[in-house]
Structure 1
Amino acid sequence: MTPVPSLPTISQLWIYPIKSLGGISLSEAQLSPRGLQWDRRWMLLDAQGNFMTQRQIAAMALLQVELGDNALRVRHSQKNMEPLSIPLQQQEGAGEVQAPIWDDTTLAWYVGREYDAWFSEALERPCRLVYMPEESERTATGKWSGQQQKVSFVDEYPLLLIGQASLDDLNARLQAPVPMNRFRPSMVVNGSTPFAEDTWHEIRVGELRFWGEKPCARCLVTTIDQQTGKAGKEPLQTLSRYRRLGSKVLFGQNLLCDSAGTLRVGDKLEVISYKPDPLKG
C-alpha cells in the first residue's frame, strides 16, 4: 500500500502589532476580518506625516513588542528606557488623520502625545503613533480568487506564509544562515518542499480557508539583523541569483482569508488547488 503523504504543519505564528517593530511569536492566534488579531493595527508617522518602516530606519528593529491581556508593552533592546504600555482598546481621543500607506490613505486615530514622546526619544526623530479603528475601509483584492478583504497597515495582503524548507534551502546557499524573522511571516509551515508555497492557491486549515494570491517581493528589510539593527547585503544578494522575477526577488506567499477562527501551532494545512509557478512561467 502506498503511504499517504503527511500534510504540512503550522510551526510558527507571528504578529507585528506596530508596523515594522519587533514581532510576537504565538502558539495560537485569532483570525479576524483583517488577518491575525492585533497585527499591524498601529503605525508610526514621521514629522511629514509619512509612514515609517525599517526600510528607512533600521533602528526600528530594536523596538521589541510584547502582548499582554490589556496592553502592548514596548521596550528598546539597547537603550535604558522605561518600557511603554499601549492599551489594546483604543479610543478616539487625540484626533484622527488620513494616514498614508503606500498608494492608499486610510482613517487612523492619533494615540496620544505621551506615546509620541516615547517613540521620538527611542528613535531620535519626531514620531506620531496612530491606530487603525474598525471604521477604516482599507481593502485588498485577490488576483486569483477575486476575494476582497479588509486589511490593516500591512504593505498589501493580510497574511504571509513561508515554508521552513524554503528558508533551509536559502541558508544552504549562504555563508552565514539567517533566521526566519528577517522575512516577517505570519505563518511558517514544516513538511513542505522548498518553495512549494509558490504554487499553492486554495488552502484549508480545518474549516478555515485561505488563498495564495501573490508571491512576496522582498526588500531591504530582509538584510537587517533584527537583534542589532544593522544592515548588510544578505540574504537579498543570494536570493536575487535564483529567485528573481523581472526586477523583483520573491520569497513567501501572500494570503487572503475569508474565515474567522483560531489558528494553532501544530495545525495541519491542506492544499486544495494549485496555480502556476511564477518562476517557471
Structure 2
Amino acid sequence: MILDRILIYPLKSGGSHSLSEATVHPWGLDGDRRWAVVDEHGDNLWLGEFPRLASVTAHPTPGGGLRLTAREMEQVTVPPATGEATPVGFSGLDKAVLADGAAHAWFTELLGRPARLVWLDDPGRRSIDPAHGGLPGEVVSFAWDAPLLLVSESSAGVLDGWLAEEAATRGEDAPGRLSRLRFRPNVIVEGAEAFAEDGWREVRIGTVPFRVSELCDRCAVTTIDPETQVKGKEPLRTLARHRKWDGKTWFGVRLVPREPGRIRVGDPVTAR
C-alpha cells in the first residue's frame, strides 16, 4: 500500500487543503482543525446542520492568523487569537480562545445566526473520549473522535460501484466517481483490499506508527456535496444497505499517532 493523499482542514467543518507532506503531532496533523465555529453558548456549529461551512476556505497566515474566503462573502484576515477564554461544548475540553471580533461578524453573516470563531490554543488539553477508543494521555484537536481519519481508495471504489447499481435500479444515470472529500479524511491509502481496514489494529505510514482506535461511524455530513454544499441522500443511503450494523453505518478508520513524525504522499503503508 501507499499513501495517496494527505488532507487537512484548518477550520473544523471548513474546506480542505491537500498537502504533499505533513508533520504528525500527538493530536493530529499540523494545522488540522485548530479553529472552530461555535454559537453564543459555545456549542459547535457543525457541517451537518450548516452545509455552507464547507464553502469556507481557511488559509493559515504567517504568525498564526487565518484568511477566510467563501462564495458571496468578502475576504477577511483574522489575526492570531488573543481574546479571552470562553466555555465550549466539546467533549474533553472546557474552554477555547476567542478570535477577533471581525471573524465573529463574518461567520454570523455567513450562517445567518450568531456565531463566533475560537482557537484551540493547546490541543494537549483535549483528551480523546474513552467511549471512542481514547486511552489515558491521548489527545486530539477539534476533530471529532480521533486525531486522524483514514479512508481506503479501494473501499471507496467499491462504494462507487454500489452507487452505480442503485442508480440503475431507479432508472437514473450513473453518478460517477464520488468525491472522497465527503468523508473528510486526513489520509487516503491505495492498494489495500476493499474494507481490509475493518480488521486493522495498527498502521504504519512511512516511519510513523498509528493505533486504530475504532471504525468510523458515518453521519449526514457525507450527504453534503463539498463543491456545491447541496445536501442529498447519498452516499449514506446506499452505504447503509451494505455497511450498517450495531445501528450505525461505517466507513473508514480512526487513527491515533503512537509517535510524532512526518508523512509524505507516496510513503509505504503497512497494517496489521
TM score, norm. by length of structure 1:
0.86
User: Which residue, 23, 40, 62 being the options, matches 1:30?
Assistant: 23
Instruction: Give 2:4's aligned residue.
Output: 11
Inter-CA distance 146–112: structure 2 relative to 1 (3 Å threshold): closer
Q: How does 1:242-261 map to 2 (within 5 A)?
A: 242-261=242-261
Instruction: Give 2:121's aligned residue.
Output: 133
Give the SS at the match of 1:60.
helix
Give how far 1:205 is off.
2.4
What is the rounded CA distance, in whole Å, between the counterparts of 1:164 and 1:37 in structure 2? Answer: 23
Contact 1:64 1:74 in 2 (8 A): yes
Instruction: Please state if 1:57 is matched with 2:50.
Output: yes
Give how far 1:238 is off.
0.3
Inter-CA distance 115–252: structure 2 relative to 1 (3 Å threshold): same
Give the SS at the match of 1:152.
coil
Give how far 1:135 is off.
6.8
What is the rounded CA distance, in whole Å, between the counterparts of 2:211 and 2:123 in structure 1? Answer: 25
Q: How does 1:79-94 map to 2 (within 5 A)?
A: 79=72, 81-87=73-79, 90-91=80-81, 93-94=82-83
Contact 1:141 1:149 in 2 (8 A): no
Instruction: Give 1:118's aligned residue.
Output: 106
Identity of aligned residues (%): 35
1:129-164 CA deviation, whole Å, 9 max, x = no partner?
000112752112677795642111111111100110
User: Which residue, 150, 154, 163 being the options, matches 2:139?
Assistant: 150
Give how far 1:224 is off.
0.3
What is the rounded CA distance, in whole Å, between the counterparts of 1:45 and 1:58 in structure 2? Answer: 14
Give how far 1:105 is off.
3.4
What is the rounded CA distance, in whole Å, between the counterparts of 2:189 and 2:241 in structure 1? Answer: 24
Give the SS at the match of 1:225.
coil
What is the rounded CA distance, in whole Å, between the counterparts of 1:140 and 1:54 in structure 2? Answer: 21
1:30-71 CA deviation, whole Å, 9 max, x = no partner?
111211011111111113321111111111111122345444
Inter-CA distance 253–147: structure 2 relative to 1 (3 Å threshold): farther
Give the SS at the match of 2:251.
strand
Instruction: Give 2:170's aligned residue.
Output: none
Q: How does 1:269-280 map to 2 (within 5 A)?
A: 269-271=269-271, 273=272
Q: Can you give the 5+ residue segments of structure 2 that lack an aligned partner in the other structure?
A: 164-173
Inter-CA distance 59–131: structure 2 relative to 1 (3 Å threshold): same
Instruction: Give 1:41's aligned residue.
Output: 34
1:148-206 CA deviation, whole Å, 9 max, x = no partner?
42111111111100110011000111131321000000100011111111111112223
Inter-CA distance 115–144: structure 2 relative to 1 (3 Å threshold): closer
Instruction: Give 1:5's aligned residue.
Output: none
Instruction: Give 2:88's aligned residue.
Output: 99
TM score, norm. by length of structure 2:
0.89
1:193-242 CA deviation, whole Å, 9 max, x = no partner?
11111111112223311011200000000000111111000000000001
What is the rounded CA distance, in whole Å, between the counterparts of 2:29 and 2:192 in structure 1? Answer: 23
Inter-CA distance 233–270: structure 2 relative to 1 (3 Å threshold): same
The code of the aligned residue for 2:201 comes to H
Residues paired across the two proteins, number: 259
Instruction: Give 1:276's aligned residue.
Output: none
Further displaced range: 152-161 or 116-125: 116-125
Q: Can you give the 5+ residue segments of structure 1 that lack an aligned partner in the other structure?
A: 1-7, 274-281
Q: Which is helix-richer, 1 or 2?
A: 2
Contact 1:15 1:36 in 2 (8 A): yes
Inter-CA distance 260–181: structure 2 relative to 1 (3 Å threshold): same
CA RMSD of aligned residues (A): 1.9
What is the rounded CA distance, in whole Å, between the counterparts of 2:212 and 2:27 in structure 1? Answer: 16
Contact 2:12 2:33 in 1 (8 A): yes
What is the rounded CA distance, in whole Å, between the counterparts of 1:258 and 1:107 in structure 2? Answer: 26
Give the SS at the match of 1:249.
strand
